[in-house]
Amino acid sequence: MAIQRPAGEFDYSYAYDMSTIRQRWQWALLLLFLAALYTLPLYASQSIVSLVNRIGISIIAVQGLNLLTGYTGQISIGQAAFMTVGGYISALLVNSLGWPFPAALLAAALGAGVIGLLFGLPSLRVKGFYLTMATLAAQFIIPWFTRQAFPEVLNGAQGVNVNVPVMFGVEFNEPGKYIYLTLTILIVTTTVAHNVSRSRLGRAFVAIRDNDLAAELLGVSLFKYKLQAFFLAAVYAGVSGSLMAHSLRHINSETFNLVDSVILLGMLVVGGLGTNLGAIFGATVVELIIEGATLSAPFFVKLFPATAAGMIQALRPLFFGFTLMLFLIFEPRGLAHRWQLFKAAWRLRPFSH
């Protein structure tokens, strides 16, 4: 090197260049936003709090799917099946064995991860469409297993009731309390997903997605990293499934079904594949739209009185379907991409006219 730089200057500048949040006002904004979320139960209605709770839990599942499908390029429609695994594991550990909730949550994460890894094995032989079919298998095998196996423990198609989590003497038995649990775990999962995506592991994932041939010739073991992606995605599903089961206080083979897997994938598309913001935007927007379907049901009932019964059930997939189609037509790269464009325009603002 021709230029002698002062010692430590590199460290400072590369670390700074690599940091995500660079300015004080950005930190302040983030903390303000989190504070607003944590104090939500103080000023928002119960139904809003429980909606935010549901959004948070969905985000976690989508974040996992994003690692697998968005970053590694392995399309999976089995994410809800691994939520089922996580939900059952933590339900049984808390209910039957009296485990403390955090330990059960961790076990749910790891247990779902291992099962996810098993269903990821076909990815070593097949790609694309065929692999997607293999992940679909999880969606049939796992619910079947919960219905048929160990009826004295899993209680067949009826499923099992799930205790509310108790920690530090607090019973998390209403949305206003549960949301603290969800938000805290969501902060952890978001941080971890971000860390994975910006490190060696994330670069290996994207290498496999963008050019698996080159990745392998440049030293990335497809075997190892595809399985790690499946494992991580299912770990996230396990956490999400456990949180959902304890919040619903019940789980059966249909709590997380094929439609949920498809919706999770749709959330990812709406938000934008392969970006961390995308998972958050996508899950939020789609959950809000599905909520909109519920809220607008009375209006549609007036419009089509003949089909009043089951209107909500009919409207949700309809709203979801339309949202997905509109996004595929107008913003196939998702909301995160739109956000990037918006930010770029904002930064150029004084010069753009």
**Interacting residue with other proteins among 77, 232, 279, 280 (CB under 8 A):** 232
Among 7, 217, 306, 309, which residue interacts with other proteins (rule: CB under 8 A)? Answer: 217
Is residue 187 at the binding interface for other proteins, with CB under 8 A as the rule? no
Binding part of the chain for other proteins, among 157-165, 198-206, 247-255, 321-329 by CB under 8 A, reads 198-206
Q: Please, what is the minimum distance in Å from the beta carbon of residue 312 to other proteins?
A: 39
112 near other proteins, judged by CB under 8 A: no
Are residues 245 and 159 in contact, defined by beta-carbon separation less than 8 angstroms? no
Considering only residues 247 to 306 of the shown chain, the ones binding other proteins according to CB under 8 A are 274
Among 221, 298, 303, 318, binds other proteins (CB under 8 A): 221
Helices 175-198 and 276-303, packing angle to 10 deg: 140
Report in angstroms how near the CB of residue 20 gets to other proteins at its nearest.
Answer: 10
Closest distance between other proteins and the C-beta of residue 275, in Å? 10
The DSSP bridge pattern shows strands 160-161 and 250-251 to be: antiparallel
Under DSSP, the state recorded for 6 is P
Among 40, 81, 108, 204, binds other proteins (CB under 8 A): 204
Please identify, using beta-carbon distances, which residue of 54 and 337 lies nearer to other proteins.
Answer: 337
Q: What is the identity of the amino acid at 211?
A: N
Of residues 80, 104, 115, 220, which one binds other proteins by CB under 8 A? 220
Residues between 60 and 99 that touch other proteins (CB under 8 A): none
Instruction: With beta carbons less than 8 A apart as the criterion, state whether 59 and 237 touch.
Output: no
Nearer to other proteins (CB atom), residue 14 or residue 140:
14
Q: Which of 39, 45, 184, 199 binds other proteins (CB under 8 A)?
A: 199
Report the candidate in 248, 245, 208, 238 with the shortest Cα–Cα distance to residue 225: 208
Whole-number Å distance between alpha carbons of 80 and 181: 21
Q: What is the spatial distance between Cα 136 and Cα 79, in angstroms, rounded to a whole number?
A: 9
- Measured from the CB atom, the residue of 201 and 289 that comes closer to other proteins is 201
* 258 and 204 Cβ atoms separated by less than 8 Å: no
Angle at 25 between CA 22 and CA 30, to 5 degrees: 85
C-beta of 248: minimal distance to other proteins in Å? Answer: 28
Helix-, strand-, coil-residue percentages of the chain, each rounded to 5: 80, 0, 20
Q: Check binding of 46 to other proteins (CB under 8 A).
A: no
Residue 184 is a binding residue for other proteins (CB under 8 A): no
Taking the complex as a whole, the smallest distance from the CB of residue 231 to other proteins amounts, in Å, to 8
Contact 256, 65 (CB under 8 A): no
CB 95 within 8 A of CB 161: yes
Residue 250: which residues within 8 A CB-CB, separation 6 or more?
Answer: 159, 160, 161, 162
Rounded Cα distance between 204 and 226, Å, is 9
- Tell me if 9 contacts other proteins by CB under 8 A: no
User: Minimum distance from CB of 274 to other proteins (Å)?
Assistant: 7
Distances (CA, A) of 255 to 156, 249, 286: 13, 11, 18
Q: Does residue number 21 form part of the binding site for other proteins (CB under 8 A)?
A: no
C-beta of 293: minimal distance to other proteins in Å?
Answer: 34
| Only segment of 11-19, 77-85, 123-131, 161-169 that touches other proteins (CB under 8 A) | 11-19
In whole angstroms, the minimum distance from the beta carbon of 186 to other proteins comes to: 16
For 218, residues 6+ apart whose C-beta sits below 8 A from its C-beta are: 207
Q: Hey, CA dihedral for 15, 20, 24, 30, is it positive or negative?
A: negative
Contacting positions for other proteins (CB under 8 A): 1, 10-11, 14-15, 18, 192, 195-196, 198-204, 206-207, 209-211, 213-222, 228, 232, 274
